[in-house]
Structure 1
Amino acid sequence: MKGFPLLRRTCLLALLTVSSSVLALEQVPALDLDQLQPTRDQVVASQNTVELLRRHHYNRTRLDDALSAQMYDTYLKHLDPQRSLFTQQDIDAFSGNRLRLDDLLLQGDLSVGFAMHKRQLQRLQDRLNFSIDLVENQLDGFDFNTDQDILVDREEAPWASDEQALQQLWRAQIKDEVLRLKLAGKSLDDIRELLGKRYRGQQIRVNQTRSEDIFQNYINALAQVYDPHTQYLSPENAENFDINMSLSLEGIGAVLQSDNEYTKIVRLVPAGPAKRSQQLATSDRIIAVGQGEEEMVDVVGWRLDEVVKLIRGPKGSPIRLEVIPASNPPGDLTSKIVNLTREAIKLEDQAAKSSVIELQNNGHDYRIGVIDVPGFYIDFKAYRKGDPDYRSTTRDVRRLLGELSEQKVDGVVLDLRDNGGGSLQEATELTGLFIDRGPTVLVRDSQGQVQQLDDPEAGIAYTGPMAVMVNRLSASASEIFAGAMQDYGRALVIGESTFGKGTVQSIQPLNHGELKLTLAKFYRVSGQSTQHRGVVPDIRYPSLLDSEEIGESALPNAMPWDTIPPARYQTSSHLQPFIAQLQQQHEARAAKDPDFIYTLARIGLDNQIKARETIPLNESKRKQQQEDYENRLLELENQRLTARGEEPLTTLEESDPLLAEVHTEDEDSDPKDDAFLLETSHILVDLLQLEHQVARAN
């Protein structure tokens, strides 16, 4: 972006792929905590980071006692998120430094951060020793017929008063883990072997902790106070980041994040092996990884970067993942093995594709064109070479619009579901296909200066009725485009509220590692931020993705939604008078649609489960809860199938009807099988008919 040099390494995308070497599980010497001390390079890097954050972060937050308290709380939550390692005595010993961290950082003093982390490592070693002894020597003594309960979420629970109380908690947590595995069909011998290996593997991970690990965690507690996308990258992680942001996307094609002790799938990359397999879904948890036919390596409790290293590997190499499906009932640890082959994700595989849906409404035939846009891509290499045939989202969509016009479609749906973004240039140019010149997005820096990006070309590639489909996983460039279409009144936006990532990051080199720093925010031409709130659709669909767990608003210290003065642009208000009636017609149809009925009922059921504060450690009670949940799921699914004229099931299928990816890249799939895409086409037809009625009345 000319005139905005700090954005030359702008990070508009989440990690797209994971692709590696196997971490050996050989025995390593016990960790010597006294040897874990900050280095001179780390001290200098901490001071450089403090200055960059103070001077250049978008928020311009002061380094004071208030920030120190936030950093302390963030760090403590990172070290012990479920309050199962520290005692109240530990917390009392730490708390005297809660308002001192800012002063210590200015002095380059990292001692408190290292001391707290080393206490956590000691507690973790104690817990693992306790756990190994328990599962290997005392497993037969567990009584699953008591009335004992355990808290589902200990994030706000009181700290254990002393070490004895801590061991009682550990015993209850291990008992819960054993019970979950029992209900998943594993014998006590299998459980003893699995948990023994898991805890010993975690023990090895702890023994491999380096000074760099502690430093990175501590400095990131500072960075995360500013916003969730500001991040310190150690020299090793900086190298991994560059690999993952490169144009050569080799791996399984999945965005991963840590979720307590698990590694969770956040998004599947379009055309990647993971998505094409149709065996993986958002929120699935990876619990083991196998290379080819080698023994699976349990990765529960591993750090995210170590799991990434284990999954990374050369294209063409086989990999097996053991996952707990997100569609499992809560507490059900039943897993499945997914076989994949790592590969390079080719640009043409991610390219926009089109199809046509034929509908009848009030005795009239309609043809709705659908363009699936999985990402905002451009072949930069060919573009820079001056290749006249370089591929890009805008070029492909322009061509597809021409083909659909030849097929005499009555309207067009642009499908941006699961589109995590990509090239900002492409978001601007794609907007330009549907408006006749004008601003496309605003970028505001930390100094308050606003840069306006424009579509300079006259002419519109398509002037007919249009809808843009979005969901919770539509992010970044997708939100810029959808927001522009809504602001210009050019298209109906239909679906779920989008992800809400409206910030701009730049990589700043340090003497030791790098700092990914938030420098700016995106704003729509209306002046509204896309940050936090995302793009709110004109007509909303229900979603099984929990917005409290997925999306910008689910991230700690996410920057707020706000507004700036709007750009000068010419908007059309011709859609606004129809939205209320379109909503009514949609709701009337949805009330009879089996898929919409199922979705709403499933959301209600899942909310009931999430509302539970405790779960029993009594086997029969837990089993009854699980059976009740599965029976209710089966009942809902059979109601859906019966309403569709299909045969009911006698048992639940392996994949959930809506969590399983109905929005796939399978060229043989019928777009009419996607209930939400079909309903969007109906809404567009409703719009056509309403416009015709108005035209006839005039």
Structure 2
Amino acid sequence: MSLIVTLGRAATLALLLGTGPALAALAPSDAQHQAAVEVAESLRYGHYADVSLDDAWSRQAFDRYLDLLDGQRAYLLRRDVTAFEDLATTLDDAILDGDLSRPFALYRRYHERAEARLEWLVARVDAGLDFRFDGDQRMLLDREDTPWPASESALDELWTKRLKNAALTLTISDQEPEAIEETLRERYEGQLTRLRQTNAEDVFGLIMAAVTGSIDPHSEYLSPRQSESFDIQMRLSLEGIGALLQADGEYVKVASLVPGGPAERAGVLKPADRIVGVGQEGEEIVNVVGMRLDDVVDMIRGPKGSVVRLDVVPAQAVDMTRSKVVEITRDTVNLEDQAAQGEIIEVERADGVHRLGVIEIPTFYVDFDAWQAGEEDYRSTTRDVAKEIERLVDEVAEGIVLDLRDNGGGALQEANSLIGLFIDRGPTVQVRDARGRISLYGDTESGTLYDGPLAVLVNRLSASASEILAGAIQDYGRGLVVGSDTFGKGTVQTLNELSHGQLKLTRAKFYRISGESTQHRGVTPDVRFPSLVDPETIGESSLDNALAWDQVREVQYRRYGEPERYLETLRERHRQRADAHPNFHYLERQAKLAERLREQHTSVSLNREQRQREAEAQEAEQLALENQRREALGLEPLDEWIDARDEEDSDEAQPVDRAQVVEAAEILLDYARLDDGLRFAEYD
């Protein structure tokens, strides 16, 4: 208190609002001025799209900057936004000229508001929380489309609800009042500390994220620190859990898992899961709600062999109190962990048992170092798959399923050469650059390794090179594509050096040999399986400013078959099996339930009894579905729905993922016999 008295009233106000020396130091450097100009020029002349940095673009970039700063409309007031409305028409000039003074000033205004609000929250917690969890109050979960608050009192009302909701969530989780106050105090003090550690590089990164993200979601500025981290990831030598994380409001969400990584091997994380706490082995778990994404990532990384504990809310859980602590041992990802693996699946029919081969391909990999060194026996996806095909054929497989589920892509050359195992020379993919020039890639080697019945199994996380392979097999009529719609990542990025940092820039676009882009829409399967992955949250179409789907001219190629002639029959036979199979019946009903719950769950009650009734009703529906599945399979019922995750990977549980593989084999067998029958009839 004596310090505040000595400083005087004006200095005290500055201290409380955060307008002291630290905030004043948040100003652009000469290096950042120059980097902004280089980014602008790269976007104008190097990006795939026809980019015009004009007033129309300024509005889009300004709105995106506001979304990055305060996407939930929880800190800035309407008058704050109005005071910087000039950026809606001048941001283009600011970036082109490298004059970042106004964008930095907007950040400082946000910083002032956020710091004052966090201090307000800490003070409220220190004064003691005496909330009554009754009445009919509800809190809106997503405020992205709400108007900017008009007054401080409106923000006070919003944050009182947010604080009450945070306290209620912890209360339902059986924390004592003192522990709740301590948890919330640590949360807000931690956020305040991290906010005060913001430096000019962080602010510049936000501005550049708004600039590049307004063009497309994959173009990205990397600061010198981020560039170093990116290089480490590309070398696959980073020790961690092997999960790609992204910010989702106040939460950190799992975007995808690295094939063969520790998280995938452990089976305790799934895409769209939310991480609400992180702890080291033997230590308390730290709540990470509201924490910066890079800070959460740093907490999860660690030495190989060490254990990280994560407090996780499953993707299908609507209530954020339904979390579970899981443990993952950190490790590096080796090439062997991502290698293709084959197996034989036996399918029983009236005429006996049929053997179908399945090859799981987690990623498209190649040992570049060994390849460039001229080693003859270097590892690659194509070589490993070829060995598996030969082994499965020797074991009398009647057809082969390529399992590309969760395969996010990798080396394009491997996708091309892998397609070549199934066709006798021909194009595989078209690539159009920013100038409209189209390059054609394909298989140049004569002959095929395997010309038998073929199917490709995909899901929402099959992306990039996976989509090229699935699309080519479909276009050639070489086989069936089964599963769910793929991711839709049909763009190509290059990494460009800047005078300060690097720029990952979208420079080209993939097109199928039929001329259709894989961008945005992905590959549509011939026989569709229901999916629990919400396309509104996972996939290219869920990303802001994703480039649109379009077409180019198709190229000449030969057709190997006509699977479309049998699709009506194949779909009907699949439907009959799916209706009778407990796992597929569960999958379809669970997908519909999850969609309905997402549509209903736009707000939460701040009445404890009502909140618990809603959560229990939702979980009861999910538990009933799970237990119906288990009863049909002759398994013991579960008492808690959240325990289903622990049983997914056991042989006894017969997980849904396995059911999809078996059904893909069933569909392939149907196709093989229909095709053989038609060929025999035509020959006869």
Fold agreement, TM-score > 0.5: yes
Name whichever of 634-643 and 332-341 sits farther off: 332-341
The answer to whether the Cα contact below 8 Å between 1:672 and 1:678 also exists between their aligned partners in 2 is no
Does residue 1:238 correspond to 2:222, yes or no? no
The answer to whether the Cα contact below 8 Å between 2:242 and 2:263 also exists between their aligned partners in 1 is yes
Q: How does 1:387-402 map to 2 (within 5 A)?
A: 387-402=375-390
Q: Distance in 1 between the 2:85 and 2:648 partners?
A: 47
Residue equivalent to 2:183: 194
Q: CA deviation at 1:185?
A: 2.4
Residue equivalent to 1:156: 145
The answer to whether the Cα contact below 8 Å between 2:583 and 2:655 also exists between their aligned partners in 1 is no
Does residue 1:109 correspond to 2:99, yes or no? yes
Q: How does 1:272-421 map to 2 (within 5 A)?
A: 272-328=261-317, 330-421=318-409
Q: Deviations over 1:218-247 (max 9, x none)?
A: 122111111100011111111111111114
Q: How does 1:160-179 map to 2 (within 5 A)?
A: 160-179=149-168
Does residue 1:479 correspond to 2:467, yes or no? yes
Q: CA RMSD in A?
A: 2.0
Name whichever of 503-512 and 584-593 sits farther off: 584-593
User: What percent of counterpart residues are identical?
Assistant: 47
Look up the equivalent residue of 1:81 and give its one-letter code: G
Q: CA deviation at 1:154?
A: 0.8
Q: Distance in 1 between the 2:666 and 2:660 partners?
A: 10
Q: CA deviation at 1:172?
A: 0.5
Q: Distance in 1 between the 2:306 and 2:608 partners?
A: 42
Residue equivalent to 1:496: 484
Q: 1:670 to 1:542 in 2, by over 3 A?
A: closer
Look up the equivalent residue of 1:421 and give its one-letter code: G
Name whichever of 462-471 and 122-131 sits farther off: 122-131
Q: CA deviation at 1:661?
A: 6.0
Residue equivalent to 2:24: 34
Q: Deviations over 1:525-583 (max 9, x none)?
A: 11111111111111111111000100011000000111111122112342110011101
Q: 2:245 aligns with which of 250, 256, 276?
A: 256
Look up the equivalent residue of 2:405 and give its one-letter code: R
Q: CA deviation at 1:669?
A: 10
Q: 1:180 aligns with which of 169, 180, 204?
A: 169
Q: Distance in 2 between the 1:228 and 1:672 partners?
A: 32
Q: Distance in 2 between the 1:72 and 1:33 partners?
A: 22
- Specify the SS of the correspondent of 2:195: helix
Q: Deviations over 1:236-288 (max 9, x none)?
A: 11111111111435321111111112221111112211111112211222223
- Specify the SS of the correspondent of 1:518: strand
Q: Distance in 1 between the 2:21 and 2:667 partners?
A: 62
Q: Distance in 1 between the 2:288 and 2:611 partners?
A: 26
Residue equivalent to 1:3: none
Q: Deviations over 1:432-481 (max 9, x none)?
A: 00010011111110000011112110111111101100000111111111
Does residue 1:268 correspond to 2:257, yes or no? yes
The answer to whether the Cα contact below 8 Å between 1:526 and 1:567 also exists between their aligned partners in 2 is yes
Q: Greater RCO between the two (CA within 8 Å, min separation 6)?
A: 1
Query: Structure 2 length as normaliser, TM-score?
Result: 0.94
Q: Deviations over 1:162-215 (max 9, x none)?
A: 011111110111111211222222222221111111111111100100011111
Q: CA deviation at 1:120?
A: 1.1
Residue equivalent to 2:419: 431
The answer to whether the Cα contact below 8 Å between 2:428 and 2:472 also exists between their aligned partners in 1 is yes
Name whichever of 541-550 and 268-277 sits farther off: 268-277
Q: 1:56 aligns with which of 37, 46, 55?
A: 46
* Higher share in helix: 2
Q: Distance in 2 between the 1:105 and 1:485 partners?
A: 45
Q: Distance in 1 between the 2:337 and 2:599 partners?
A: 42
The answer to whether the Cα contact below 8 Å between 1:67 and 1:102 also exists between their aligned partners in 2 is yes
Q: Distance in 1 between the 2:430 and 2:667 partners?
A: 31
Q: Deviations over 1:16-69 (max 9, x none)?
A: xxxxxxxxxxxx998722121111111111011111110111102111110001
Q: Deviations over 1:280-308 (max 9, x none)?
A: 21122222323333443332222222222
Look up the equivalent residue of 2:381 and give its one-letter code: T
Q: Distance in 2 between the 1:653 and 1:43 partners?
A: 51
Q: 1:517 aligns with which of 479, 489, 505?
A: 505
Q: Distance in 2 between the 1:314 and 1:353 partners?
A: 28
Look up the equivalent residue of 1:392 and give its one-letter code: S
The answer to whether the Cα contact below 8 Å between 1:327 and 1:655 also exists between their aligned partners in 2 is no
Does residue 1:455 correspond to 2:448, yes or no? no
Q: 1:146 to 1:672 in 2, by over 3 A?
A: closer
- Specify the SS of the correspondent of 2:574: helix
Look up the equivalent residue of 1:46 and give its one-letter code: A
Q: 1:634 aligns with which of 603, 607, 623?
A: 623
Query: Structure 1 length as normaliser, TM-score?
Result: 0.92
Q: CA deviation at 1:93?
A: 1.5
Q: CA deviation at 1:655?
A: 3.2
Q: CA deviation at 1:405?
A: 0.7
Q: 1:669 to 1:508 in 2, by over 3 A?
A: farther
Q: Distance in 1 between the 2:665 and 2:187 partners?
A: 49
Does residue 1:145 correspond to 2:129, yes or no? no
Aligned residues between the structures:
664
Look up the equivalent residue of 1:70 and give its one-letter code: Q
Does residue 1:125 correspond to 2:110, yes or no? no
- Specify the SS of the correspondent of 1:98: helix
Does residue 1:465 correspond to 2:453, yes or no? yes
Q: 1:114 to 1:634 in 2, by over 3 A?
A: same
Residue equivalent to 2:70: 80
Name whichever of 317-326 and 216-225 sits farther off: 317-326
Q: Distance in 2 between the 1:559 and 1:692 partners?
A: 42
Residue equivalent to 2:606: 617
